[in-house]
Amino acid sequence: MIQSITTQIGDIIRGHQTFLVAGHFRPDGDVLACQIALGLTLQTLGKTVEVWNPDGMSRKYSFLPHADLVRRPPSQARAFDVVISVDTATQDRLGNIRERIASQKILVNLDHHASNGRFGDINWIEPKAAASGELVHQLLRDNRWPITPAIAANLFIAIATDTGSFQYSNTTPATLRTAAELVEAGANVAELSRQCFGSYPLARVRLLQLALAGMKLAADNRIGWLWLTKEMYRQSNALPEDSEGLIDHVRAIDSVLVAAVFEQDDSGNVRISLRSKSDKIDVNKIAAQFGGGGHAAAAGARIPGEPAVVEAAALKAIEQAVRTSGNSAAPSR
């Protein structure tokens, strides 16, 4: 009999003692919440576990139960029986975590990005899942491991953030059933939603104000984009994590089919985030042209080059996708 992937991973967990739960830099709600949920589960099972993120725990998600589990990698490398990479499409997105792993027996790669490079010894990649939180929930449920209120709260936020509060097209009946089970397990929807979606720092609002002042539209208002510059961060006193979700303000314009946010990172590359609200425009394919990836409706890339040159190339690719999609222009009022 062929083992299910959740049973296979469950057997690996039962058969080993020391674990690292790793996640990508510039962390979002899905990766951090999944890291915490897995860390708590492993602790409950009596395992020795570390939870590392290259950027540590973000201020935005510090309300998550047991957020203190997430730490930056230590200066000295450590050995583990099993490393579990969560919600991370490529190994390079693990940043300096890779340098801090002295050795590992097994690398488990658990993710929902279609662009995942399958770099693990065990790869569970499910692009149909709205969030990696769905996979972690299935892993726990299939192995009959307890889902405590703290784990439920984390997994609820993992799914809620990656579905735009269950508004995006990746929200499926299975997604909603999972969310319902997490509420039954103790996730407090009202409180978690207030903390996550209704409690932004003033610096983020100031950053948004500066960014929207420079927003541009093209292709009969079907493409919208903005830049986040170092000067904007300085003026607003915002942190890089405060940029999460700003793209949704562009995406929300009625005529916009593809939204983009450009940002120059410390290494000189241009970070581009893409969102599509048309099932005929796959931004994962656009991002792939520049070495990036993600999902059909949400993707990104890091592109070397001068900002103006990168912007022009990216916008050309976006406009080509919009023009060939068959979506008619609907100029905003």
Kindly report the number of other CB atoms within 10 A of residue 251's CB atom: 22
pLDDT above 60 (res 1): no
pLDDT attached to residue 332: 45
Q: Kindly report the CA angle at 177 between 173 and 181, in degrees rounded to 5?
A: 170
Mean pLDDT of the 219-224 span: 97
Average pLDDT over residues 65-79: 98
pLDDT of 203 > 60? The answer is: yes
Q: What is the pLDDT of residue 244?
A: 92
d(CA 191, CA 200) in angstroms, rounded, equals: 14
Q: What is the pLDDT of residues 132-150, one digit of tens each?
A: 999 999 999 999 999 999 9
Residue with tokens 């929207």: 212
What percent of the chain is modeled with pLDDT above 90? 93
Q: Is 85 helix (H, G, I), strand (E, B) or coil?
A: strand
Is the pLDDT score of 302 beyond 70? yes
Report whether pLDDT(312) > 90.
Answer: yes
Rounded average pLDDT over 250-257: 96
Is the Cβ–Cβ distance between 273 and 250 less than 8 Å? Answer: no
Instruction: Give me Rg for the CA atoms of the chain.
Output: 20
Alpha-carbon separation of residue 282 from 78, 218, 270, 286 (angstroms): 40, 18, 20, 7
The per-residue pLDDT for range 273-284, each reduced to its tens digit, is 999 999 999 999
Q: Of the ranges 76-80, 156-160, 293-297, 325-329, which one carries the lowest mean pLDDT score?
A: 325-329
- pLDDT by residue (tens digit) across 255-274? 999 999 999 888 889 999 99
For tokens 């990005």, name the residue.
113
Query: What is the chain's mean pLDDT, rounded?
Result: 95
Q: How far apart are CA 188 and CA 28, in angstroms?
A: 20
Q: Which residues of 35-67 are buried (b: 16+ CB within 10 A; e: fewer)?
A: bbbbbbbbeeeebebbbbbbbebbebbeebbbb
Residue 173 pLDDT exceeds 90: yes
- Would you kindly state where each structural domain of the chain is located, as residue ranges? 5-197, 207-325
DSSP string, 8-45: HHHHHHHT--EEEEEE-SS--HHHHHHHHHHHHHHHHT
Task: Determine the pLDDT at residue 328.
Answer: 62
HEC per residue, 157-204: HHHHHHCCCCCCCCCCHHHHHHHHHHHHCCCCHHHHHHHHHCCCCHHH
pLDDT value, residue 267: 81
CATH of 207-325 among 3.40.50.920, 3.40.50.10490, 3.10.310.30, 2.60.40.1120: 3.10.310.30
Q: Please report the pLDDT score of residue 331 as a whole number.
A: 46
Span 289-316, average pLDDT: 94
Give the residue carrying structure tokens 């080509």. 320
Contacts of 71 (CB under 8 A, 6+ apart): 50, 51, 52, 53, 56, 57
In CATH, what number does 5-197 get? 3.90.1640.10
Residue 2's pLDDT band (boundaries 50, 70, 90)? low
Q: Name the helix (H) or strand (E) containing 224.
A: strand 223-228
The CA distance from 180 to 128, in Å, is: 19
Query: What pLDDT band is residue 329 in, cutting at 50, 70 and 90?
Result: low
For residues 81 and 49, the answer to whether their CB atoms sit within 8 Å is: no
CA distances from 274 to 5, 236, 283, 305 (A): 31, 23, 6, 18
| 3-state class (DSSP) for residue 82 | strand
CA distance linking residue 149 with residue 129, whole number of Å = 22
